Amino acid sequence: MRILDFHLHYNGKLENASRFVELWRAGGVEKAVVFGLNHEDGSHVSMDAVAKLTERFPDFFIPFAYLNLGYEDCLCAVAEARSRGFRGLKFIYTAKPYDDDEYFPIYEAAAKANMVLLFHTGIIIGTGKAGGEHGTAFQAKWRISSDYMRPMRLDRIARAFPEMPIVGAHVGAESWYEEATSMLEWLNNIYFDMAIQQFHYVRKNAPAGSDPRVIKFRIKELYDSGQLNLHRILFGSDACVGSPKANPDWPLGTLHFELDGLGATEEEKEAVRWGTAAKILGIS
Q: What is the percent of the chain where pLDDT is above 90?
A: 89
Residue 284 to residue 270: CA distance in whole angstroms: 14
Residue 81 has pLDDT above 80, yes or no: yes
- Radius of gyration of the chain from its Cα atoms, rounded to whole angstroms: 18
Q: Which residue has the higher pLDDT, 196 or 263?
A: 263
Instruction: Return the domain boundaries, the chain.
Output: 3-281
Mean pLDDT across the stretch 175-194?
Answer: 96
109-136 pLDDT, tens digit each:
999 999 999 999 999 887 666 556 677 8
Superfamily of domain 3-281: Metal-dependent hydrolases (3.20.20.140)
Q: What is the pLDDT of residue 125?
A: 83
Residue 81 to residue 265: CA distance in whole angstroms: 37
Q: What residues have CB less than 8 Å from 172, skipping those under 6 apart?
A: 121, 122, 150, 151, 179, 180, 192
Neighbours of 218 (CB within 10 A): 14
Mean per-residue pLDDT of the chain: 95
196-214 pLDDT, tens digit each:
899 999 999 988 888 899 9
24-74 pLDDT, tens digit each:
999 999 999 999 999 988 999 999 999 999 999 999 999 999 999 999 999
138-160 pLDDT, tens digit each:
898 999 999 999 999 999 999 99
The number of CA neighbours under 13 Å toward the Cβ of 120 is: 24
Q: What is the pLDDT of residue 132?
A: 60
Residue 18: phi and psi, rounded to 5, are -60, -40
